[in-house]
Amino acid sequence: PIEQACDSCRKRKLRCSKEYPKCSKCIQHSWDCKYSPRMVRSPLTRAHLTSVENKCRDLETLLSRLLPPNENLDDLLAKGASNSDNDDDDDDYLLLAEENESNSSSSIFDKRNSITSLSSIPPNDMMTAATTTAANSSSSSGMTSPCLQSMNTVDGMAAFSFNSDGTPNNAGYFGLASSSALLRTLKIDDEDNEDDEDGVASGDFDMLLDADYPQEVFNAHSKERKNLVSKKGAIEKQLNSKFVQDQFIAAYFKYYHTSYPFIHRDTFIKQYIREIPVKDEQTFSMLVNTVLAIGAWCINGENSKIDLFYYKKVKKTLKKINVFEIGNVMLLECYMLLSNYTQKRNKPNTGWNYLGLAVRMAMSLGLHKEFNLNSSDSRTVKANLLNLEIRRRLWWGIYIFDAGAAITFGRPINLPSIDMIDINEVSNINDEELNEIMLSDNDIISSESLQKPYPTVYSGLKYQTRFTILASSIYNRLISKPAPTAAECLQLNQELNCFIANLPLYFSEDKAVAHANFLKITPKDLYNKKKEIPQWFELARNRLIWRYKNLQIILFRAFIWQRVIGVKNPEILSQSKSKEGKECRDICLRASHETICSIEEYIASNESSIISIWYCTYFLFQAVLIPIVCLCSEPENTKYNENWMHDINLSKNILAKLSRFNQLAVKFIKVIDRLCSSFMKFENSTLNRDNLD
């Protein structure tokens, strides 16, 4: 029953029939009939007032204990009330940026903090870096946010996503193709695991300092915090300065764009310096801050939190717009880049969600369809050449990201069937050469002129696209039921071998062949005036090699595990002893060994960047799990355990080098130690310097 009259009858002091949905008076006079709930007022009694006063006094006592002695509670409450609606004052990552900066007398662009060559690191420093990083990650000072500590417990490589009892944690679903699945089976838990804020049900990851600290820590922290707060404005001013932002944009195009060339550089720069107008300032601001965040990460990696300053700006803009009602190419570029950035920042589910938005938006914009101009005017065709290329780069970039993330996390691929996609692959041509064609007087544009026979920045994207199409079909079969047989897996591997055989010579696994072909076919005025191979090309070539070897590991990893189970299960053991089962295991072990050796060679002979270190760490850990599983299951196997131990020791030493710039490498070293300590005695923390340098 309705307890009280409707609002209209109460206002006019009329007798209400209290009928629903409308009372008789409202029907008669065509009034809006709304039944508001009965207002509940606090009792005006001495007992209630005394209770409220006591509670208020207790809260004041608690706050006075937490606040420094010289802080006035009334002043703080007044400030808090005036700023209660402003959430932008919570920029504690600026304090972290200042802390990082204050640890060095140099600027944020100090060459001592930049990446040069990992092979130049003295052997004794490598394990020191690993040990120091481990200590810093496990025991934080009073100036470190608890949220920041937990940010590293869920990783973008899908290695740690389970509780100590082997059950999945709130980090989401990580399937059989992820390394997390293998570690779960081996009963390896992340000993530093905490509830991570990137779990499916968790929220934002703003840096909240001053949470749950003992009183003695808090007192020291508050004094330092006050000094740092006074500098926050100066830090923000520096990070917003054109000089600093120009450096981060340059770093983005030097390190990230050469791996993932999705943004048209000339157009972006002209919009940035206001040579050409921007249609949507809000979206362009998002894109600029996304580029700045990635550029800052490319320079500083995990040694700084400066990139989070720009990432928070992006999130602030995202809150202002309705992401479900806006769709354009610029916003699509933001989602693409954010998905990859947040994954590399160990926010896998955040990146996964950005990817979902990007895929849906791309299909809404029709990027999966080739755009035919149907124009006889060659000038119209020329004018749209760049737009067509941008569409292709964006679509196939999304395709690579989505399929790659799905395989990494062991999740279904969220993409339409390849039969439904008819957009052409990207053209193998540099932007400068494309501009020349667009500005030339020649009206005839041949396909040969758009597909250069030598490597360009877009060669990696082109052949990675072809690989991803093949990898998607193999992966979809792998996670389907019933599981593929050994014979079927060998057939899928044949398809992969055909792809490898048809790669151009400059992508050959043989480094000498690849370099010789690069120098032979590339025009002299492009890259090789000094006959040096560009670093972007070396990363593109090696990353493609590591990708298809990693797919072989994923494809045949089940047969390695079948052998492990077979040690205690005669029925499975008989199956694993078949000729096909042995061949599957041999391919998996060979792919693992070759990956480890390839990464060792890459680190020893190339100037490493933050992005290349991330990929080295990811593919190395995927590879070393195979000999680890074999050694743990058959420690008495004298025929092969020497080879397994060599690969494990080699990987551990490489990870020690990488740990200087990637904290996940430290965790991977711990995993290796915990898994293998009872089966093997590790060599010195690093290999002999002559073997690596």
Whether residue 176 is contained in a domain is answered as: no
Domain edge (last residue) among 21, 56, 73: 73
CATH number of the domain where residue 36 is located: 4.10.240.10
461 and 603, same domain (yes or no): no
Residue 208 in contact with residue 92, Cβ under 8 Å? yes
Are the beta carbons of 355 and 402 closer than 8 angstroms? yes
Q: Which residues contact 379 (CB under 8 A, 6 or more apart)?
A: 443
In a domain, 354, yes or no: no
Between vectors from CA 167 to CA 166 and to CA 173, what angle results, nearest 5°? 120
pLDDT along the chain (693 residues), means of 10: 83 88 90 83 83 85 71 68 44 50 40 41 38 37 33 53 48 60 58 44 32 38 52 81 93 96 94 91 95 95 89 93 87 96 92 94 94 63 85 97 92 91 94 87 78 95 97 94 91 96 96 94 78 91 97 92 66 72 93 97 92 95 92 76 91 92 89 79 42 33
- SS3 call for 571: helix
Other CB atoms within 10 Å distance of the CB of residue 641:
18
Contact 589, 557 (CB under 8 A): no
Radius of gyration of the chain, Cα coordinates, nearest whole angstrom: 30
Q: How far, in Å, CA of 174 to CA of 410, rounded? A: 5
Say whether both 472 and 522 belong to one domain. Answer: no
Helix (H) or strand (E) segment spanning residue 164: none
Tokens of 62: 């608690």
- Measured CA to CA, the distance from residue 72 to residue 64 in angstroms comes to 9
Residue 221 phi, psi dihedral angles, 5° rounding: -65, -40
Q: Is residue 271 part of a domain?
A: no
561 assigned to some structural domain: yes
> pTM for the full model?
0.72
- 523: cis peptide before it, omega within 30°? no
Domain count, the chain: 4
Residues 671 and 556 in one domain: yes
Residue 270 lies in a domain: no
Task: Give residue 163's identity as a one-letter amino acid code.
Answer: N
Same domain, 405 and 518: no
Residue 495, SS3 per DSSP: helix
Query: Does any domain span residue 457?
Result: yes
Looking at residue 417, the DSSP 8-state letter turns out to be: -
In this predicted structure, what is the pLDDT of residue 200? 37
Do 585 and 527 belong to one domain? yes
Same domain, 8 and 65: no
Position 152 scores a pLDDT of 40
Do 30 and 67 fall into the same domain?
Answer: no
Do 433 and 503 fall within a single domain? no
Q: Are residue 586 and residue 648 in the same domain, yes or no?
A: yes
Q: Six-digit token pair at 510? A: 């043989």
Q: Give the per-residue pLDDT at 627.
A: 92
Name the E strands within 416-557.
none
Contacts of 205 (CB under 8 A, 6+ apart): 147, 151, 197, 198, 347
Strands (E), 377-454: none
- CA distance linking residue 302 with residue 118, whole number of Å: 16
Quote the DSSP letter at residue 176. Answer: T
Q: Nearest CA to 407 among 336, 334, 469, 350?
A: 469
Domain residues for the domain of 17 are 1-40
Clarify whether residues 437 and 554 are in a common domain: no
Concatenated DSSP letters for 354-377?
A: HHHHHHHHHHHTTTTS------S-
Tell me: do 413 and 492 sit in the same domain: no
Per-residue pLDDT at 455? 95
| Domain presence at residue 574 | yes
Q: Around 404, how many Cα atoms within 13 Å sit in the side-chain half-sphere?
A: 29
Is 519 within the bounds of a domain?
A: yes
684 and 650 co-located in one domain: yes
Q: Which of 465, 480, 495 is the last residue of a domain?
A: 480
Round to whole Å and give the CA distance between 161 and 516: 44
Three-state SS sequence of 188-239: CCCCCCCCCCCCCCCCCCCCCCCCCCCHHHHHHHHHHHHHHHHHHHHHHHHH
